[in-house]
Amino acid sequence: MLTQLIFLATAALYVAASTLLFVFGANLIRFAVLVWRKGPVRRDTVETVSENDLPLVTVQLPIFNELYVSQRVIEAACALDYPAHLLQIQVLDDSDDETKVLVAQVVEHARQRGINIVHLHRTDRKGYKAGALADGLRTATGEFVAIFDADFVPPADFLRRTVPHFAKSDIAFVQARWGHLNRNFSWLTRLQALAIDGHFLVEQSGRGLRGYWFNFNGTCGIWRTSAIADAGGWTADTLTEDLDLSYRAHLKGWRGHYLADLIVPGELPAHVNGFRRQQHRWARGSMECAVRLLPQVWRSNASRATKFQASVHLLSYGIHLLLLLLTLLYPLVVLASARFPGFSTLFGFGYLFALTSFAPGIFFVAGQRQAGRSWLRELGRIGVVTVFGSGLMVNTARAALQIFTRPNPEFERTAKFGIEAETGGAASWTEKRYQKTIDSIVFVEFALAAYSALSAVLAFQQRNWGIFIYAVIFGLGLFAVTVTTALHAWAVHRHADRRRVVVASEQATWQVPVPSAK
């Protein structure tokens, strides 16, 4: 009797997880079909604003310990093609290392050239990035505020191509597409580029086309200052202050406008530890926003379709949680099917999952096609990024768990190393500072990879080919993430002596005593 109850509970969870995955997958396919029909990205046409009607714009550059990329973004901001008397640049610097000295010098050189730029340095980091942006707004003079993270390089025409879209009075923000300075630097950056292209060229584009709510992505966008205030301003209540503010603005009746044809290139994380911490922050922040905002979304006057899409959007990292649940259930599903043949029909319902298991691939294919790249040439990498992405399920589960176990986490920025080359070796970044020690979660991931291997063996013995395939895929993803993390940690360890020399030289150059790098 107890065994039957366990298997019944297993069946219920399995069918529920498979159904939810079907919903997420079908939605991805829907957006892929939508943008595919629209065709590749073309130049957005909008009437230009005459010189006499151009508004005041403030450019904010939030920075924290970005020694290798700060000068690059400041110089790009100073090169923006916009009337000097209508442009204010704020460098919002929370750094506690040599970055603050470098930034001060770069800003001073720009000021000597007649550029309206100010260096605002905080020492307490209260509110982290959200706090820095809010502090900057107190002295901002712009009717609009453009924001660029330190690892991005805005094109000179950014403001002239975004400002005209605010002719519609209900537009709160305009979001540009992320490009990639170092797409081909390594296989890891290639995979990230594929995933980001999919997000911006399929999901963001699809939501924009249908008028659904979408979010400002934290950088490479411009806000109407009054919309920020009306939505309640920047807050550090979640780890994704950009998503939080975007939805609060939508709830107030504001809209966003997405420009798929305006590309702002940025640097992709070269270190897998940086990548996984970035994913952890985005996953936790998204789920925090879901908890805080979904009740308000469903009480709002938005259409049911908009409410549904907002729910799918905010809960998108739940896909990893569902994959983790299925991974844990697979042995029980196989045993139940073998012992109780009557369950086979019930478990067969789980093959709904199989119908949308191609959704990520279709999603990424559509993204590459929209970008004007040969998606046929990218098919191999698309398969790899799908498998590798499943290996982040434990990382996402930890993010969800920490909402309850660590209510006030520190905002961890993703370290960047000033990489712009399309190719390069490990030494180009492992010899620099801002390295993180190996993430201990790899032991859990390795154990789950072994568990998946046992599930695959069991499924093979019982001729349960569906579970066999998925157990192999998930096991390979977990194993790939584990091995990559270990290899990168070893590369960082091997260059520790050289890194100490480099850091000592940097400290001497900037004459600011800071702790030695790990």
Nearest to 220 by CA among 152, 131, 124: 152
Catalytic residues, by residue number, are 94, 242
Nearest to 277 by CA among 485, 517, 494: 485
* Residues whose CB is less than 8 angstroms from the CB of residue 274 and which lie 6 or more positions away in sequence, other chains included: 414, 415, 416, 436
Distance CA 383, CA 377 (A): 12
Q: Which residues is 152 bridged to in the sheet?
A: 266
The model's confidence at residue 245, banded by pLDDT at 50, 70 and 90, is very high
Mean pLDDT on 323-345: 82
The model's confidence at residue 269, banded by pLDDT at 50, 70 and 90, is very high
Please give the pLDDT value at position 514: 47
What are the backbone dihedrals phi and psi of residue 501, each rounded to the nearest 5 degrees, phi first? -65, -45
Task: Annotate 127-158 with b (16+ C-beta within 10 A) or e (fewer).
Answer: bbbbbbbbbbbeebebbbbbbbbbbbbbbeeb
Mean pLDDT on 339-350: 61
Mean pLDDT on 384-397: 94
Lowest mean pLDDT across 4-18, 61-75, 157-171: 4-18
Q: What percent of the chain has pLDDT over 70?
A: 93
pLDDT tens-digit series, residues 475-499: 999 999 999 999 999 989 888 888 8
The better pLDDT of the pair 206, 439 is held by 206
Please give the pLDDT value at position 6: 81
H or E element at residue 172: strand 171-180
Residue where the block lists tokens 């159904």: 19
130 has pLDDT over 50:
yes
CA torsion sign for 42, 45, 51, 55 is negative
Please write down the HEC assignment for all residues of 261-313. Answer: EEEEEECCCCCHHHHHHHHHHHHHHHHHHHHHHHHHHHHCCCCHHHHHHHHHH
For the chain, domains (ranges, CATH) are 56-281 (3.90.550.10)
253 has pLDDT over 90:
yes
Mean pLDDT on 267-273: 92
pLDDT tens-digit series, residues 1-22: 677 788 778 888 888 888 899 9
Conformational region of residue 39, where left means phi above 0, alpha means psi within -120 to 50, and beta covers everything else: left
Mean residue pLDDT across the chain: 90
160 has pLDDT over 60:
yes
Distance CA 353, CA 323 (A): 10
Please give the pLDDT value at position 349: 60
Mean pLDDT on 407-423: 79
Contact 279, 225 (CB under 8 A): no
Task: Annotate 423-450 with b (16+ C-beta within 10 A) or e (fewer).
Answer: ebebebbbbbbbbbeebebbebbbebbe
Nearest to 185 by CA among 305, 274, 268: 268
The model's confidence at residue 517, banded by pLDDT at 50, 70 and 90, is very low
